Amino acid sequence: MQEPVMSEVRVRFAPSPTGYFHLGSARSLLFNWLFARRHGGAFILRIEDTDRTRYHEEAVSDMLDGMRWLGLDWDEGPEVDGPYGPYYQSQRLSLYQDYAQRLLDSGHAYKCYCSLEDLEQMRREQQQRGLPSGYDRRCRTLTARQQAEREAQGMVPVIRLKVPLMGTTSFHDLIRGQIEVQNEKLDDLVLLKSDGFPTYHLAVVVDDHLMRISHVLRADEWIPTTPHRILIYDALGWTPPLFAHLPIILSPTGQGKMSKRKTVDADGREYNVLIHEFRAAGYLPEAMFNFLALIGWAYDDKTEILTRQQIIQNFDLTHVSSAPAKFSYDKLDWMNGVYIRSLEVDDLAGRLLPFLSRVSPDVDVETVRRITPLVQERLTALADVVAWTDFFFTDKLDLEPESLIEKKMTAEQAIQVLEQSYQVLGELPTFDEQAIEAGLRAKAEEMGLKARQFFGTLRIAATGKRVAPPLFGTLAILGREKVLQRVARARELLVS
């Protein structure tokens, strides 16, 4: 691929605000952004809100929030504006109408008076007879008089593109090479709807041209619409931008693409799809960035963890794969863990705080800071911190008496463990990690119990959990008073 001249690169991401910001969008968006940053070009955000029936109020803010969270800034678009605005298509309606008229005048388009019912019936018949579906062009040959008759009846037309009946339309895809389609397979698509709004096809061409977009990077699923796109450029006498079609992201099961809805695996487990869901679950934006970049693109044959700068500097369309990719939550979890482990303790504690504050009002910064090193290498996502450490912030432990008795131990021994621990811990001159460990180990040995048994019983008494952060550090942070209280309560439970 030829290296584009730096100043010429202008790419855009153009979502339609019909739903929440999801993974598939995020990946397309990221690749566009990377391409712009890699080539020192401009990244433009344009809102394609031409479908009033599917418009979703919160969609735009959800996307902007998600972009800010991922650190993807835009040079032109909502909130920042720019020389080619407005950047909402709903504010550009007269533009599309002008160009639609222009196509009508030049004979590249025509008015179609077919009703939605007509079209539906036509499709049904085509389906039944096994014919390829598509508009049958019955209004393409209407005479001026026939048109006037329909207008007189109050029929409001749409404007359709006059697709050439013969020949082929082709384009060069930067990732896939030459793609060619026979014009006879293309139907006369609607450019302007009867409500005066443009369809996607018209609006996108007009805006990409007027906004001087140089490269269009978008998902695979758009390939079939590209020849139509090219034809509209031709009809307007414009030069199309360069296209690159990105491999689609498939759900983990491989049964279809990642949609805006929840995906469910074979066991019926639900997975996150929306960006704000990943955020709420405690995936780090830097991990999401890294992971998304690696779906369909690779830096080399071994590097997985890359900084934002490394990715920008090395991003390259020639290394974008053309095969679809299944999304792997396992690998994302692994990568998020890697990023969590690499954080400075203060940084991580700061990110953990909101998750804990949400479940308990008594959470204090200092305690979170002390707890953080205990859980850092155990977290898959930030929200996991709650399950790991909630016992620090509440005295309501769910204790089952039987759970206090470790394997190959009698109830009598468990009681002994608790009583002896109570005594040892009560008498320690200082209640720090080292002193606690030394005192308890000596006692365990004296009693002839395995560390596993002794500490297991104590762990459950202090935390209510069979699996918990390292015991000695945990006890030190809980403090002597709470620990003794919990040990005593556990003993009561066993005795009664």
Task: Give the number of C-alpha atoms closer than 13 A to the C-alpha of residue 160, restricted to the C-beta side.
Answer: 22
Of residues 235 and 440, the one with the C-beta less far from RNA = 440
For residues 148 and 142, give the distance between their C-alpha atoms in angstroms, rounded to a whole number.
Answer: 10
Rounded to the nearest 10 degrees, what angle do helices 433-447 and 451-463 cross at?
Answer: 130
318 is a contact residue toward RNA (CB under 7 A): yes
Q: Least CB distance from residue 486 to RNA, whole Å? A: 15
> Total residues at the site for RNA (CB under 7 A)?
93
For RNA, the closer of residues 166 and 323 by Cβ is 323
Q: Which of residues 130-149 bind RNA (CB under 7 A)?
A: 130-135
Contact 4, 39 (CB under 8 A): yes
DSSP symbol at 13: E
Q: Which is nearer to RNA, 176 or 369 (CB)?
A: 176
Give the C-alpha separation, 304 to 213, whole Å: 32
Q: Which of 23, 48, 290, 392 binds RNA (CB under 7 A)?
A: 48
Residue 57 contacts RNA per CB under 7 A: no
Which of residues 80, 438, 447, 451 is near RNA by CB under 7 A? 451
Q: Considering only 56-64, 138-146, 221-229, 230-238, which stretch makes contact with RNA by CB under 7 A? A: 221-229
In whole angstroms, the minimum distance from the beta carbon of 361 to RNA comes to 27
Binding region for RNA (CB under 7 A) out of 75-83, 182-190, 208-216, 353-361: 182-190
Q: Which of 142-150, 173-181, 267-275, 353-361 is the region at the interface with RNA (rule: CB under 7 A)?
A: 173-181
Is 181 a binding residue for RNA by CB under 7 A? The answer is yes
Select from 80, 466, 492, 495 the one that contacts RNA (CB under 7 A). Answer: 466
User: Tokens at residue 45, please?
Assistant: 């955000």
Closest by CA position to 32, among listed 24, 23, 44:
44
Structure tokens belonging to residue 38:
């890699």
Binds RNA by CB under 7 A, chosen from 91, 322, 360, 423: 322
- Collapse the DSSP code of 464 into the 3-class scheme (helix H, G, I; strand E, B; otherwise coil) and give the result: coil
Active site residue 260: yes
Residue 251 identity (one-letter amino acid): S
Tokens 């209004």 appear where?
139
Residues 6+ apart with CB under 8 A from 178: 170, 171, 172
Angle at 19 between CA 15 and CA 22, to 5 degrees: 75
Residue choice 5, 54, 80, 265 for contact with RNA (CB under 7 A): 54
**Min separation Cβ 235 and RNA, Å:** 18
What span, in angstroms and rounded, lies between the C-alpha atoms of 288 and 359?
Answer: 25
Integer CA distances (angstroms), 477 to 22, 226, 424, 427, in order: 40, 62, 17, 17
CA 96 to chain centre: 32
Radius of gyration of the chain, Cα coordinates, nearest whole angstrom:
32
Candidates 230, 325, 399, 435: give the one binding RNA (CB under 7 A): 325
Closer to RNA by Cβ: residue 162 or 257: 257
* By CB under 7 A, residue 475 contacts RNA: no
Catalytic residue among 193, 257, 260, 465: 260
Q: Please tell me the distance from the alpha carbon of residue 409 to that of residue 415, in angstroms, as a whole number.
A: 10
Residues 72-101 that bind RNA (CB under 7 A): none
Which of 4, 24, 337, 464 binds RNA (CB under 7 A)? It is: 337
Integer Cα distance of 125 and 302 in angstroms: 55
For residues 357 to 386, the per-residue mask of contacts with RNA, x marking binding by CB under 7 A and - elsewhere, is: --------------------xx--------
Q: Which residues contact 44 (CB under 8 A, 6 or more apart)?
A: 10, 11, 12, 13, 74, 75, 76, 77, 82, 84, 87, 211, 213
Please report how close the Cβ of residue 7 comes to RNA at its closest, in angstroms.
25
By CB under 7 A, the residues from 242 to 281 that bind RNA are 247-248, 250, 254-257
If the CB atoms of residues 225 and 367 are measured against RNA, the closer one turns out to be 225
Instruction: Mark 199-218 with x for binding to RNA (rule: CB under 7 A) and - for no binding.
Output: xxx--x--------------
Binders of RNA among 385-414, rule CB under 7 A?
Answer: none
Site for RNA in 1-40 (CB under 7 A): 14-16, 18
In terms of CB distance, is 357 or 480 closer to RNA? 480
Q: Please report the DSSP string for 428-463 in residue order.
A: -SS-SHHHHHHHHHHHHHHHT--HHHHHHHHHHHHH
- Select from 328, 360, 394, 434 the one that contacts RNA (CB under 7 A): 328
Judged by CB under 7 A, the residue of 75, 136, 277, 304 near RNA is 304
Near RNA by CB under 7 A: residue from 137, 150, 162, 193: 193
Is 304:293 a contact under the CB 8 Å cutoff? no
Q: Select the span of 111-119, 206-214, 232-240, 346-354 touching RNA (CB under 7 A).
A: 111-119
- The answer to the question of residue 220 lying near RNA (CB under 7 A) is yes
Task: Return the number of other C-beta atoms located less than 10 Å from residue 86's C-beta.
Answer: 15
Active site (catalytic) residues: 260
